[in-house]
């Protein structure tokens, strides 16, 4: 078990890595990643098993919010180590039978990968044997249009994901790319962002003397600004 754990850790992709490529069967046909997703952001996420309650609540929420992700040029791809017929049966049950919160008659239109061989799950370090060696943990990979992994969030089997946080992470990454800024703790779209620290003593002094437009500095290394309202991602 120790040896297996180490092997998994060594092959887990990390932030900044190019996401591993794969070909897989899904509920929407064959997927060729990354070629089928040219120019798009991708959220690739795993769930432990079909026909389980936490996963069902998550799938309904992903499906309900799919258009919001797409508005941000982001495609969803789900994965579990179940087979294709299990996936199809589960998605049919969700649509036909399950009412959860304000959701019912929910059709999952994004692809759900079958990964009985754990080929894709292993490439992405989704099997974490000390949590479960037969099920994927709840992993979320944010992959940018250059196929770079930009953020990774892992949840254990027992904990359903926070979808407002997934959306916030996506928008924060896209905002950071667009404006070369960073985002502070608990940042929400529309709030002030953090400008990169000054590259010289002169710029530090200018900022502290209020000579840079629209910048609010708490100290020379900690300055924030508003983004143009009309261009704000939300």
Residues serving a catalytic function are: 55
Q: Give residue 29's region: left, alpha or beta (phi > 0; psi -120 to 50).
A: left
Q: Least CB distance from residue 172 to ligand BEZ, whole Å?
A: 27
Closer by beta carbon to ligand BEZ, 48 or else 198: 48
- Summarize as ranges the residues that interact with ligand BEZ (CB under 6 A): 48-49, 52-55, 135, 157-158
What the block records as the tokens of 10 is 């060594």
In the complex with ligand BEZ, which residue's Cβ is closer, 34 or 125? 125
Whose CA is closest to 81, among 40, 145, 6, 25?
25
Residue number with CB closer to ligand BEZ (53 or 210): 53
Tokens for 6? Answer: 């180490």
Q: What is the DSSP code string of 1-33?
A: -HHHHHHHHHH---TTSBPPPEEEEEBTEEEEE
What is the nearest approach in angstroms of ligand BEZ to the Cβ of residue 125? 18
* Structure-token match 């982001």, residue found: 74
Nearer to ligand BEZ, 27 or 56 (CB): 56
What's the angle, vertex CA 139, arms to CA 1 and CA 28, rounded to 5? 115
Are the C-beta atoms of 145 and 40 separated by less than 8 Å? yes
**Of 19 and 94, which CB lies nearer to ligand BEZ in the complex structure?**
94
Q: Which strands form 29-33's sheet, in the order they lie side by side?
A: 29-33, 22-26, 112-114, 74-80, 41-46, 138-143, 149-155
Report, in Å, the least distance between residue 114 CB and ligand BEZ.
17
DSSP E strand boundaries for the chain: 22-26, 29-33, 41-46, 74-80, 112-114, 138-143, 149-155, 193-194, 215-219, 222-225
Least separation in angstroms between residue 206's CB and ligand BEZ is: 54
Smallest gap from Cβ 24 to ligand BEZ, in A, equals 21
């Amino acid at each position: 078990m120790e040896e297996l754990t180490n092997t998994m850790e060594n092959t887990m992709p990390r932030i900044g890595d190019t996401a591993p490529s794969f070909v897989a069967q899904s509920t929407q046909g064959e997927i060729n990643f990354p070629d089928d997703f040219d120019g798009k952001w991708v959220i690739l996420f795993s769930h432990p098993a079909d026909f389980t309650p936490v996963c069902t609540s998550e799938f309904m929420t992903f499906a309900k919010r799919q258009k919001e992700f797409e508005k941000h040029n982001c495609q969803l791809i789900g994965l579990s180590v179940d087979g294709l017929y299990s996936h199809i049966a589960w998605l049919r049950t969700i649509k036909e039978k399950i009412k959860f919160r304000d959701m019912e008659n929910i059709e999952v239109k994004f692809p759900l990968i079958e990964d009985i061989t754990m080929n894709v799950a292993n490439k992405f370090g989704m099997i974490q044997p000390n949590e479960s060696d037969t099920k994927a943990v709840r992993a979320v990979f944010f992959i940018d249009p250059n196929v770079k992994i930009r953020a990774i969030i892992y949840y254990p089997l027992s904990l359903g994901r926070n979808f407002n946080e997934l959306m916030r992470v996506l928008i924060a990454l896209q905002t950071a790319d667009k404006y070369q800024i960073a985002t502070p703790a608990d940042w929400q779209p529309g709030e002030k962002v953090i400008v990169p620290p000054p590259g010289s003593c002169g710029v530090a002094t200018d900022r502290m003397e209020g000579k840079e437009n629209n910048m609010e500095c708490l100290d020379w290394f900690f300055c924030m600004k508003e983004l143009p309202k009309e261009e704000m991602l939300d």
